[in-house]
Amino acid sequence: MTDKVLVIGAGGQIGTELLEKLNEIHGSSNVVAADLNNSPAFSNNPYEKLDVLDKESLFNVVKKHQVNQVYLLAALLSATAEKNPLFGWKLNMEGLFNVLELAKEKIIDKVYWPSSIAVFGPTTPKVNTPQYTVMEPSTVYGISKQAGERWCEYYFNKYNVDVRSIRYPGLIGWKSAPGGGTTDYAVHIFHEALKNKKYECFLSENTTLPMMYMPDAIKATVDIMHAPAEQIKIRSSYNLTGISFNPKEIAEEIKKHIPDFSISYKIDFRQEIADSWPKSVDDHEAREHWGWAEQFNLSDMTSDMLLNLSKIK
């Protein structure tokens, strides 16, 4: 049977790029893009204007297109959710329940839902953070992701829901803008480097965080969703690592291409969020269970970002 896929939040940073990959795999007519607003990124896809909090409309979209797989990307990210904690909780949790319930009722048969390094908190070991460790997230975003992970595992154990998840690090890509996270600086820095040869960073120079280039994140997403079910042994969410760096290190890497680039620092509320997250994570379970391996290091990513952004600027 041909899979019919629904991507909710398709117009965001990840959705824009994931849609391209899913179109290649399933054919664009089998990939339905859903979001609050339309976007040129969906021009090849069936589009549904959809609020994931509207359970009835979600059901109708799934039925109308005979969807059997859902990628749920709609969420408030860390920085935005701190500004509106109750709505962050509502969107991140109720959206997930609405999709998990469709899978529990066997209306759909597979769910992808991303978690984040934000599930960890200030009391978590910061270097090579293990899959299983102390998790006391201090942001509303992190609390919602931690709770979401527990619920995903619960729906798998109790209702045999085939839900798969990755704890993405901060994601960096050139095709789409980031949507209100603490790691957004690592995308903005490239745009500003090409435009103004300088960047004012909202995190301090030594703030090391786990990051990943978007092609690697898309590959991981597609790989985990296409792995045989028995290989997915963790049904909460998998640690996943790509590259760990701080603002000073990425600025040095950019300077190799743009020698007169300079970085300055003006710290804001996002520093406290970043300080509560790991510097690097141990993802050996993802490597062993379903064969995860990243392709891009800091140097490869920087060259590729600058090359592609300079073509479209």
Which residues lie closer than 8 Å to 265 by C-beta, 6 or more apart? 200, 201, 203, 204, 205, 247
Alpha-carbon distance of 151 to 82, in angstroms, equals 22
Which residues are catalytic, by number? 141
Question: Nearest distance from residue 114's CB to ligand NAD, in Å?
Answer: 4
Site string for ligand SER, 65-84 (x = CB under 6 A): ------------xx------
Stretch that binds ligand SER, among 112-120, 226-234, 243-251, 304-312 (CB under 6 A): 112-120
Q: Which does 140 bind (CB under 5 to 8 A by kind): ligand NAD, ligand SER, none?
A: none
Give 73 or 163: the residue with its C-beta nearer to ligand SER: 73
Provide the β-strand partners of residue 172.
213
Q: Which does 12 bind (CB under 5 to 8 A by kind): ligand NAD, ligand SER, none?
A: ligand NAD
Question: Can you tell me which of 15, 95, 137, 181 binds ligand SER, judged by CB under 6 A?
Answer: 181
Strands (E), the chain: 5-8, 31-35, 47-49, 69-72, 110-112, 115-116, 163-164, 166-168, 170-172, 198-201, 209-213, 238-239, 243-245, 262-265
The residue nearest ligand SER at its CB is 181
Stretch that binds ligand SER, among 123-131, 175-183, 241-249, 300-308 (CB under 6 A): 175-183
Structure-block tokens of residue 34: 């859903």
Question: Can you tell me which of 45, 69, 116, 246 binds ligand SER, judged by CB under 6 A?
Answer: 116
Specify the residue for token string 């209702």: 159
Question: Nearest distance from residue 172's CB to ligand SER, in Å?
Answer: 9
Give 141 or 199: the residue with its C-beta nearer to ligand NAD: 141
| 66: alpha, beta or left? (left if phi > 0; alpha if psi -120 to 50) | left
Nearest CA-CA partner of 173 in 282, 7, 21, 69: 21
Question: Nearest distance from residue 105's CB to ligand NAD, in Å?
Answer: 20
